[in-house]
Structure 1
Amino acid sequence: MVIEGNEDTPRQVVLTEPTSLDGDSDAYKAPNLVRRILSLFINVRPGSDLTKFQLPPLFNIPKSHLQCFGESVYSVGKDLLHECNSEESSQDRFISVVAWSISTARPVVFGVAPYNSILGETHHVSRGSLNVLLEQVSHHPPVSALHATDKEENIEMIWCQNPVPKFYGTKVEAEVHGRRQLKLLNHGETYVMNSPSLLIRFLPPGLDWVGNVKIHCQETGLEAELCYLTNSFLGRRGPHSIRGRIYHSSSLETLYELEGHWNSIVTLKDINNGKETVIYNAKEVVSGLKTPIVKDPQGVLPSESAAVWSAVSEGILSKNWEKAREEKKAVEEKQRELVRDRNSRGQTWVPKYFNLSYNKEGGWDCFPTQKWVPPAPIDVPIGHAL
């Protein structure tokens, strides 16, 4: 979707459909994909940090990391957040939060990646009464902050994300550092969690979410341990697997066990009576996702992701790789000029919507500068298509 602006707004905004289970893995693939990918890493040593690694547009999808980060919150077919808030018991709310957390692990297209977000880039989108605002608060290291609020539901989310990708010969593993908080303010409950890592294998080709995720609610004493698993060496375990348990932090007594696949069905087993229930169906949540639309062109900031990268995205969508390459180079060079200008003035860049701090655990924390996120100029349609 392309929206033309005037002198008071970005000249162009390009919005593309969210990545979903419906499948768009062939949309941006280049020929001889695996060979081309491996050729990029000829001079990269195993174990190297790829944080500053730049991909040519041929290997980019037409959106930035910031947009993909935000999509995991606002691009949904079924509103799991409402279920988290509406459950009557603390245990049922916790189970719903676990299901919602699983829903934030989204399919990723093999062989291509989003643009590396530039410093100060923002992404502001609304879906119903949920308003979501993201900002790239650091470039080296890359740190993204998310603040989402829903006044009607009295819900708040504060996330801080710092991906650290490393190359290991035939694979890249991106550890996603940072804390995620979901606050159900009506119930006085805060749920703190982390994110799984993204594993990209070249031989054989494939990708998956892997690693351990812990979810904790201090007010109720409930915790969950989730383990994201991929293919085992002997093939005894399929890809996209997830298993875990919910327990009391005080007694460590297991209340529920869960297993399944994050891209299909996850079931929960009650240890007391053996009853099993489906707590997550990916098809309901991550299928039929709608492309956001611009409802207020004058409200779109020049720093908006879909505006910053619009010309690059146009080149990719039209497969005009020369245009995409030149426009991407222009975006990156403008950022270098801004850095040189700040350095010459002795200035330090300061985020607009977040305060950033380095915590004692060796990670980053982000604190929003406003209590409620305002409605956005970009909106996700709700309801069935006409």
Structure 2
Amino acid sequence: MSQVTETDFGSKAVITAPLSLECEESDSNYRAPNIIQRILSLLSNVRPGSDLTRLQLPPQFNIPKSQLQCYGESVYSIGFDMLKKCTEEKTSLNRFVSVVAWSISTVRPLPFGVAPYNPILGETHHVSRGTLNVLLEQVSHHPPVTALQATDEKENIEMTWCQSPIPRCHVTGTHIETEVIGKRQLKFIDKNETYTMNSPKLVIRFLPVPGVDWLGNVNVRCQETGLEAELSYRGNSFLPRPSIYRSIKGKIFLSSTSETVYEINGHWDRTVMAKDVSTGKTTIIYNAKEELSGLKTPIVKDSKAVLASESTVVWSEVSRAILQKSWEKAREPKSCIEEKQREIARERKSKDDDWAPKYFMVSHTKENGWDCLPINKLVPTAPILVND
């Protein structure tokens, strides 16, 4: 057996299958514990007079991956290279329709009652698929802010995300709503086109039927072409209605005249169609079953090039124990990671030492919120790959 060196972090990495349409079955080794087990494990950590704001979720409530991985997967884990298809379209209108379809593909289903790990400050995730290289970094912990840069030099694609999830418990206690603050930007350099878009809200509903859904309005816009899309993600409000559940309704129009070009209808976990209002012709622009099924799990290609800050390394002990359903074994390293995070924060505060991200320049204003600019123009090839 070969000896593992101190810099051979890749050998420690634990990489689980990406979230797919069958999210509960997305990894053959992972099954979410029974909901009753999860609730009992949570209650076992609550004591009379305890500060609930400092309550740590037991590992039974975690899927074996970080939120950074979930964001990254929505870009590099897909059944077909939709971004390449976008750039190959001959007209700006067809490219815009393809970008709308791609933005829908970034929405993935999540199992109820479990969540990814909250990334620690400075945590990174670096994965390549073909010529697309994707890099994420956690640039703030309180509030949580994640920055993403992806580049494809061959296809002339650049992408930057800067987003922060803000959870709010509804006054009635029936659901928790997480608004993903920030913008996503996609550039086709050789086409001189820049697309900006936002994310729908993630809603965890407890009553009347427990579930997780994406809801709210999404706007996609290309300033250079004047094309814009308004999409409404809808779900059940009280009684189950299959026609409404996980549905999308919207339009693509010209910003200058508000003239509708396409009407958008469908379901983001099934198919989405675009109807040309001038001809009445309807075309399927997105098929979730084709794009989000049978997704391949990334593999470590260059073990010694994996960073200590890599998500799959940072949380490896916790993930390995969760996959084994060894909850006490998972609790200890999870608590150690979280306590070390707080200890470093206290030490930094005592020294009045400002932490700076390694890969992004970060700014924040009350008017515009968070902004994350990549320090390097191109993302290098990653030591973790998705094989096509």
Asked if Structure 1 and Structure 2 have the same fold, meaning a TM-score greater than 0.5 normalized by the shorter chain, the answer is yes
**Corresponding residue for 1:358?**
364
CA displacement, residues 172-209 of structure 1 (integer Å, 9 cap, x when unaligned): 11111111000001100000000000111112111110
Answer yes or no: is the 8 Å Cα contact 2:109–2:212 preserved in 1.
no
* 1:211 aligned partner, one-letter code: G
Q: Specify the alignment match of 1:201 in structure 2.
A: 205
- Tell me the distance in 2 between the aligned counterparts of 1:248 and 1:4: 61
Q: Structure 1 residues 266, 88: CA separation in 2 closer, same or farther (over 3 Å shift)?
A: same
Q: 2:386 aligns with which of 377, 380, 383?
A: 380
Distance 2:238 2:303 in 1: 51
Cα shift at 1:340: 2.5
Q: Once superposed, what is the RMSD of the aligned Cα atoms? A: 2.2
SS of the residue corresponding to residue 279 of structure 1 reads strand
C-alpha distance in 2, partners of 1:364/1:52? 25
Query: SS in structure 2 opposite 1:186?
Result: helix
Code of the aligned partner of 1:22: E
Structure 1 residue 183 and structure 2 residue 182: aligned?
no
Q: 2:278 aligns with which of 272, 283, 302?
A: 272
Cα-to-partner distance string for 1:258-310 (whole Å, 9 max, x where unaligned)? 11000110000000010000000011111110110000011000000000000
Report the Cα offset of residue 109 of structure 1: 1.2
Structure 2 residue aligned with 1:210: 215
Deviation (angstroms), 1:23: 4.2
- Aligned pair in 2 of structure 1 residues 222, 31: CA closer, same or farther (>3 Å)? same
The aligned counterpart of 1:304 is 310
One-letter code of the match for 1:198?
Answer: L
Q: Measure how far apart 1:64 and its partner are.
A: 0.5
Residue 68 of structure 2 corresponds to: 66
**Farther-moved stretch of structure 1 (339-348 vs 157-166):** 339-348
- Cα shift at 1:235: 4.4
Is 1:24 the counterpart of 2:61? The answer is: no
Q: Which moved more, 1:232-241 or 1:83-92?
A: 232-241
Give the aligned partner of residue 349 of structure 1.
355
Contact 2:23 2:110 in 1 (8 A): no
Q: Deviations over 1:321-342 (max 9, x none)?
A: 1110001011112212222222
Relative to structure 1, is the Cα distance of residues 52 and 358 closer, same or farther in structure 2, using a 3 angstrom cutoff?
A: farther
User: How many angstroms apart in 1 are the aligned matches of 2:218 and 2:263?
Assistant: 15
Match in the other structure for 2:111: 109
Change beyond 3 A, Cα 1:312–1:276: same
Letter in 1 for 2:39: R
Superposed CA deviations along residues 107-133 of structure 1, whole A, max 9, x for unmatched, are 111110000000000000000000000
Q: How does 1:90-109 map to 2 (within 5 A)?
A: 90-109=92-111
Q: Among 240, 261, 265, which residue is 1:259 paired with? A: 265
d(CA) in 1 for partners of 2:384 and 2:7? 16
SS in 2 for 1:179: strand
1:12 equivalent in alignment to 2:15: no
Matches within 5 A, 1:215-234: 215-234=220-239
- Tell me the residue number matched to 1:120: 122
Partner residue, 2:291: 285
User: Letter of the aligned partner of 1:341 in structure 2?
Assistant: E
Equivalent residue letter for 2:347: D
**One of 174, 177, 180 as aligned partner of 1:173:** 177
Aligned to 1:153: 155
User: CA–CA distance in 1 between the matches of 2:37 and 2:368?
Assistant: 35
2: CA distance, partners of 1:83 / 1:57 = 40
State the distance in 2 between where 1:250 and 1:360 align. 29
Amino acid paired to 1:287: S
Contact 1:25 1:110 in 2 (8 A): no
In the TM superposition, residue 39 of structure 1 has moved relative to its aligned partner by: 6.3
* Count of residues paired in the alignment: 374
Report the TM-score when normalising by structure 1: 0.92
Please give the alpha-carbon distance, in whole angstroms, between the structure 1 residues aligned to 2:53 and 2:271.
33
Structure 1, unpaired ranges of 5+: 44-49
**2: distance between equivalents of 1:111 and 1:4?**
40
CA contact (8 A) 1:156 1:185 kept: yes
Task: Name the aligned partner's letter for residue 120 of structure 1.
Answer: G
- Distance in 1 (CA, whole Å) between partners of 2:80 and 2:363 is 34
> TM-score with structure 2 length normalisation?
0.92
What's the counterpart of residue 46 of structure 1? Answer: none
How much has 1:5 moved relative to structure 2? 4.4
Measure the CA separation in 2 of the matches of 1:79 and 1:359: 36
Is the Cα contact below 8 Å between 2:24 and 2:32 reproduced in 1?
A: no
